């Protein structure tokens, strides 16, 4: 699980071009949107693409998506249960 | 005849040091590889820091020159935003198309798609300035900038009170673009140093370039730098049509050929495109002739750099040595005629005069 979270953080940094950030700068439980990393709606679309491309996960229910994308922790847990790749 | 539009401010990011404006075209930049890339600015001063991370170079260039032009004019929100681009955000388009092929049209990044659209920069500028007014992007190859200026002129001519328009252009060069255009002989086979480009006008091809230029335009003279008196465009025109166009333009503004203080030519070193400039040199026997593509390279909206250069020449009353093709001691720079030709068959004339 720890390895997955580090890898996920690296993928987020690359996909969203978070220049100057390292995985250590992202708290596992900090909210990704709003206060935390300050990501926006286009970033949420980029994260959905990230999940589909790297883990074969397609989230079609927006409410479910919002829960999954709350934090790195919630994303990693969801990936562990639903990954196809 | 439409009313003149007045340039309140001008900003350019180009392969030269044009953005910081400390010294007029100094130091001069050159290249030996047939490509002139822009001298990049500190974009963080002008672009929303949250959004900047996902922007490609042309978007940052466009927004920064636009915001800089508005700042110089002391305007936070224009009444309209009108731009022109030949190719838009090439890099984003290339990334998006490559992803489509590699990922078999699935799981595509939204950012590249959104930013590959031609009007993306206008959208960003409108968001940053909170401008809900008229917003238009012209994509007409070598006449894109000219048509955006014509539209701005129409907008300002129709306005019943003082209005401001942010008008400009942007284009970027990518490796892919350079490679593809090389296949249809756009570029010189034997590459001279960019500063020697015009001296190599006896062979085919030119050198590649890129840039962005923005202008704050208004319909009242006030403290304007200069005025755009007329814009004439030609597509696939015979030489005689452009020749007549020059005479009509001069007549319409009660000018003799001798009243043109500086002829600013878009010569690009390509023998296939030289005829129109040779004709103009005969028709407008002004003692001062200048060229600019040895500084910018060729791209669809290079005439935006020429408009910036003309406004700077009028503002500073200087003709820099580096753009001089033929020079005499001009007492005052009052009227500048820009002649530009682009490889896709478009030609334009722009008359810029003291306000």
How confident is the model over A28-66, as pLDDT tens digits? 999 999 877 778 888 999 999 999 999 999 998 989 999
Which of the residues A47, A53, A59, A84 would you substitute to probe the B interface, choosing the one with the greatest number of B C-beta atoms within 10 Å?
Answer: A53
Distance CA A67, CA A64 (A): 5
pLDDT > 90? residue B329:
no
Nearest CA among B294, B248, B305 for reference residue B269: B294
Predicted confidence (pLDDT) per residue in B198-252, tens digit: 999 999 999 999 999 999 999 999 999 999 999 999 999 999 999 999 999 999 9
- Residue B270's pLDDT is 98
Compute the mean pLDDT over every residue in chain B, rounded to the nearest whole number. Answer: 95
Q: Is B53 close to A53, i.e. CB distance below 8 A?
A: no
B298: number of Cβ within 10 Å: 26
- Give the ipTM of the model, two decimals please: 0.77
- Residue B202's pLDDT is 95
Which of the residues A17, A20, A36, A55 would you substitute to probe the B interface, choosing the one with the greatest number of B C-beta atoms within 10 Å?
Answer: A17
Q: Which of A38, A40, A46 sits opposite B109 (nearest CB)?
A: A46
Distance CA B307, CA B338 (A): 8
Task: Check if B114 contacts A (Cβ < 8 Å).
Answer: yes
Task: Say whether B164 sits in a helix, a strand or coil.
Answer: strand
Q: Which fold has domain B229-354?
A: Peroxisomal Thiolase; Chain A, domain 1 (3.40.47)
* CATH no. of A2-82: 1.10.1200.10
Contacts of B50 in chain A (CB under 8 A): 38, 40
| Nearest residue of chain A to residue B56 (CA atoms) | A17
- Residue A35's pLDDT is 75
Which of the residues B106, B111, B115, B116 would you substitute to probe the A interface, choosing the one with the greatest number of A C-beta atoms within 10 Å?
Answer: B111
Task: Check if B109 contacts A (Cβ < 8 Å).
Answer: yes
Distance CA B109, CA A46 (A): 6
Residue B226 pairs in a beta bridge with B7, B354
Please give the helix or strand (H or E) that residue B354 lies within, else none: strand B346-354
Task: Say whether B260 sits in a helix, a strand or coil.
Answer: coil
pLDDT > 90? residue A78:
yes
pLDDT > 90? residue B331:
no
| Nearest residue of chain B to residue A13 (CA atoms) | B53
Alpha-carbon torsion angle A30, A31, A35, A41, nearest 10: 150
- Residue B106's pLDDT is 85
Enumerate the domain spans of chain B.
5-218, 229-354
pLDDT confidence tier of residue B278, bands split at 50, 70 and 90: very high
Distance CA A53, CA A32 (A): 20
Query: Which ranges of chain B would DSSP assign to H, the alpha helix?
Result: 49-52, 57-73, 90-102, 110-116, 120-129, 144-158, 175-183, 239-252, 275-283, 293-296, 303-316
> Higher-confidence residue: B311 or A36?
B311
Predicted confidence (pLDDT) per residue in B54-69, tens digit: 899 999 999 999 999 9
| DSSP per-residue string spanning B225-241 | SEEEEEEEEEES--HHH
Contacts of A52 in chain B (CB under 8 A): 106-107
What's the rounded mean pLDDT across residues B78-99? 95
pLDDT > 90? residue B1:
no
Q: Which of A19, A46, A53 sits opposite B110 (nearest CB)?
A: A46
- Is the Cβ–Cβ distance between B126 and B132 less than 8 Å? yes
- Residue A8's pLDDT is 97
Predicted confidence (pLDDT) per residue in B172-183, tens digit: 999 999 999 999
Q: Which of B53, B54, B107 sits opposite A53 (nearest CB)?
A: B107
For the domain made up of B5-218, the CATH class stated in words is alpha beta
Q: Which of A19, A42, A52 sits opposite B107 (nearest CB)?
A: A52
Task: Check if B110 contacts A (Cβ < 8 Å).
Answer: yes
Please give the helix or strand (H or E) that residue B340 lies within, else none: strand B335-342
| Nearest residue of chain A to residue B102 (CA atoms) | A53
Percent of chain B with pLDDT over 90: 92
Q: Is A49 close to B109, i.e. CB distance below 8 A?
A: yes
pLDDT > 80? residue B21:
no
What distances in angstroms separate CA B346 from CA B10, B237, B260, B349, one per listed residue?
Answer: 24, 8, 23, 10
Task: Say whether B12 sits in a helix, a strand or coil.
Answer: strand
């Amino acid at each position: 699980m720890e390895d997955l979270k580090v890898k996920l953080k690296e993928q987020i940094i690359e996909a969203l071009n978070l220049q100057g950030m390292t995985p250590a700068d992202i708290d596992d439980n900090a909210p990704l949107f709003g206060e935390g990393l300050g990501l926006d709606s286009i970033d949420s679309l980029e994260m959905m693409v990230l999940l589909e491309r790297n883990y074969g996960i397609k989230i079609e229910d927006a409410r479910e998506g919002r829960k999954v994308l709350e934090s790195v922790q919630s994303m990693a847990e969801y990936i562990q249960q639903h990954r196809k790749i | 005849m439409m009313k003149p539009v007045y340039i309140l401010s001008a900003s350019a990011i180009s392969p030269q040091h044009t953005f910081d404006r400390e010294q007029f075209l100094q130091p001069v930049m050159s290249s030996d590889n047939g490509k002139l890339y822009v001298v990049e600015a500190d974009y963080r001063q002008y672009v929303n820091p949250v959004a900047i991370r996902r922007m490609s170079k042309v978007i940052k260039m466009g927004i920064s020159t636009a915001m800089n032009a508005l700042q110089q004019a002391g305007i936070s929100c224009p009444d309209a935003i009108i731009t022109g681009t030949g190719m838009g955000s090439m890099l984003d388009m290339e990334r998006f198309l490559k992803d489509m092929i590699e990922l078999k049209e699935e799981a595509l990044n939204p950012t590249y798609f959104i930013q590959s659209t031609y009007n993306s920069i206008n959208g960003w500028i409108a968001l940053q300035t909170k401008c809900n007014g008229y917003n238009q992007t012209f994509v007409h190859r070598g006449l894109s900038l000219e048509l955006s200026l014509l539209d701005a002129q129409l907008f300002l001519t129709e306005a019943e009170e003082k209005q401001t328009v942010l008008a400009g252009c942007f284009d970027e060069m990518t490796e892919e673009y350079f490679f593809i255009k090389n296949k249809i002989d756009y570029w010189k086979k034997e590459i001279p140093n960019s500063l020697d480009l015009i001296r190599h006008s006896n062979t085919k091809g030119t050198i590649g370039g890129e840039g962005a230029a923005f202008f704050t335009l208004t319909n009242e003279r006030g403290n304007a730098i200069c005025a755009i008196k007329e814009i004439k465009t030609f597509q696939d025109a015979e030489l005689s049509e452009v020749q007549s166009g020059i005479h009509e333009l001069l007549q319409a503004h009660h000018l003799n050929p001798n009243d043109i203080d500086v002829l600013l030519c878009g010569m690009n070193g390509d023998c296939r495109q030289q005829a129109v400039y040779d004709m103009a040199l005969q028709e407008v026997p002004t003692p001062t002739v200048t060229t600019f593509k040895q500084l910018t390279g060729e791209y669809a909206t290079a005439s935006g750099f020429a408009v910036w250069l003309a406004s700077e020449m009028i503002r500073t009353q200087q003709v820099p040595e580096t753009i001089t093709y033929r020079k005499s001691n001009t007492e005052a720079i009052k009227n500048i005629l820009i002649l530009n030709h682009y490889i896709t068959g478009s030609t334009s004339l722009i008359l810029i005069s003291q306000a």
